[in-house]
A and B are shown apart, each in its own frame.
Chain A
Amino acid sequence: MHMADALISPAVGGTMWAASATLIGYNAKKVQKNLDDRTAPLMGVLGAFIFAAQMINFSIPGTGSSGHLGGGMILAILLGPHAAFLTMASVLTIQALFFADGGLLALGCNIFNLGFFPCFIAYPFIYKTIAGNSPTKMRITIGSIFAAIIGLQFGSVAVVLQTVFSGISELPFVKFLFIMQPIHLAIGIVEGFATAAVILFVKNARPELLEPDSHVALQKKVSIKTVLAGIIGITILTAAVFSWFASTNPDGLEWSMFHTSGMEELETPKKDLYSSLSSIQEKTAILPDYGFKKEDSEATESVETWPGVDSGTSLSGLLGGLIIFLFIMGIGLGLKKKKKKAAS
């Protein structure tokens, strides 16, 4: 689900722009350094493929509704996380400009929600963990389904947080979460099946396309315990930090957004990113002294008058965090069981 310009404040939009711009800069460097020049046209044409594929629907039996391909997961499987993130970002940019789907201010949010989570959370930690290095039919199916679900759950939590922090919609955190998470659970299941079906087709027809020759770094085998511990840690941290900052100053809000979104969820393998984050941000920041400075002063103004600042916010943040935590725990437990089954 795409965030829209009309629902976010400049502070949130600007923060997410900075986060996404940083990620684009980082991934562009990574792709340029690691991959051969065949990748550029492949990324480009696969991005166009995502558009075309999203226009072809299949009917879901018994429901009367239809589903289509999401994009992020399949790109990550075909291209590896870095190139997939850039491709997804380009698709979203074109959607924002031509279809006004999302919008320019919300572009940062959308790139983050629909690019970062599938490529850097769901793909390496869920799909790779389950599918492993010699994927079977079963492993690919289960892996894609869980990866799609978890990627979308993270994405929709992010949509909720971005909306609530913007303070333009009056939906309270918990209520909104209750609306969004089940919808995206359903979408995730459909998308997972769709992704699995396509990947299995490609595996049968041209298995060499799935050979991860150039996918770097992120594909160390991660044990399921590490994944669970990571997810739990992120959940608690997000709930605590976000709800704390929801009742303090706007700078704090921006910084907490940055820390939780840009850093905590990237996990450990990229120490160099942490330290050089701010310098990359400066280098790659779009409109270094135009949009953002203005946006800062504006942010101070708008947040001071923010009506939603009370002690209830903190409580609802923690409550919501608890619910996500329990939800993800449930998924994690199910995952572990399925994995055991698949392994035996």
Chain B
Amino acid sequence: MAALESAFLNLGHIETLARKQSKIHQLDPRAKLLTTLIFIITVMSFNRYDLSGVIPFFLYPVMILIIGDLPLIYLVKRFVIVLPFILFIGILNPIIDQNIIMKIGSFSISGGWVSFFSILIRAVLTVFAALTLIATTGFHEICIAMEKIGIPNLFAAQLLFVYRYLFVLIDEASRMVRAKSLRSFSRKGNGLKEWSSIIGHLILRTVDRARRIHLAMLSRGFDGEIRLAHKYVFQLKDILYVLGWTSLFMLMRIFNFSILTGNILQKLMP
């Protein structure tokens, strides 16, 4: 059951990262959430053949990675997990679209390959944007930011509940699976019948746990409404952070810095 426990450890690790104290970590979570969303929307608004225009946007994740002092290898491992689906859909582009749209010397490139790499680059950008957001903010803060921005209180509380008991239940599940594998030899006991019994028991334990939690909440004065503590105040630096990045994204969206740089280089080297 190594997979179960390593998933659990990985989750814990991202929270450890979120506890760091960098300039990025100290910003208001709302500022970071907004900036991340604007970043993703801008990156995804490019035409599918636009490869060069997207490249300057690497600036953002790289900056966060450096200022936030995040380990690159850990985030790359995370990215590799989600890669297959993107590859599965993207790899068909070169097969379907074979129109030549680019020529470098005698080497011609079809539209399909251009759009394939464009998808790949955008996948890197958007996944890293999400991962750096969580690794510099922490889940609890993001939920509070979302509630302040306007999602219903019940849903924010629900997110926090799920997140809190995630660790407990993954622990519980891995104990059950370990107990099962200790009592059965490697290839046995993996069928639907055994599985449904384990999952069924897990449900029963979950429901019982929920009842105990409810009683504990009641004895602490729960009245049906879940209150979240907000400790952040939107400061000047947060406003500057959002505005600064947004205007940079807009600039990079309007002007293609890759082509500009290429042109300048060509003029310099005749």
- Residues of A at the B interface (CB closer than 8 Å) are 1-2, 4-10, 13-14, 21, 24-25, 28-29, 31-32, 37-38, 40-49, 51-53, 55-61, 66, 69, 78, 86-87, 89-91, 93-94, 96-101, 103-105, 163, 167-172, 175, 193-194, 197-198, 200-202, 205-206, 209, 283-288, 290-291, 294-295, 298-299, 301-302, 305, 307
Contact = CB atoms under 8 A, between A and B. Distances in A.
Given A100-B79, A104-B126, A171-B92, A52 B200 contact: no
A13 B170 contact: no
B14 A98 contact: yes
Contacts of A200: 196
Dominant secondary structure of chain B at its interface with chain A? helix
Contact of A61 (B173, B191, B194, B211): B191
A86 B158 contact: yes
A90 B162 contact: yes
Interface string B80-107: 0110011001101100110000000000
A103 B160 CA distance: 19
Name which of B81, B129, B161 has the most chain A CB atoms within 10 A of its CB.
B161
Contacts, number: 302
Given A45-B210, A59-B191, A284-B151, A7 B200 contact: no
B46 A170 contact: no
Contact of A94 (B92, B139, B211): B139
Interface centre among B11, B173, B192, B197 (most CB of A within 10 A): B192
Nearest to B36: A104
A10 B203 contact: no
Chain A, interface SS category: helix
Interface stretch (B37-45, B57-65, B233-241): B37-45
Please indicate which of the listed interface residues B92, B139, B155 has the most CB atoms of chain A within 10 Å of its own CB.
B155
A197 B46 contact: no
A45 B157 CA distance: 12
Interface of B: 3-4, 7, 11, 14, 34, 36-38, 40-42, 44-49, 78-79, 81-82, 85-86, 89-90, 92-93, 96-97, 111-112, 115, 118-120, 122-123, 126-127, 129-131, 133-134, 139, 142, 146, 149-155, 157-166, 168-170, 172-174, 177, 190-200, 202-204, 206-207, 209-211, 213-214, 217, 222-224, 226
B175 to A, nearest CB: 11
A46 B90 contact: no
Given A49-B203, A103-B126, A28 B152 contact: yes
A93 B106 CA distance: 47
Contact of B154 (A28, A285, A299): A28
Given A56-B199, A201-B196, 4 more contacts: A37-B222, A48-B163, A48-B168, A98-B11
Contacts of A168: 44, 48, 115, 118-119, 122
Closest 10 CB pairs of A and B: A44-B161, A201-B200, A197-B196, A58-B195, A47-B162, A5-B126, A6-B123, A28-B152, A48-B165, A52-B173
Given A28-B154, A163-B89, A56 B169 contact: no
B200 A48 contact: no
Contacts of B4: 55-56
B126 A55 contact: no
A169 B90 contact: yes
A60 B115 CA distance: 37
B130 A170 contact: no
B199 A69 contact: yes
Nearest to B205: A49
Contacts of A37: 214, 222-224
A25 B45 CA distance: 27
6 contacts: A9-B44, A100-B78, A105-B37, A194-B199, A291-B38, A299-B45
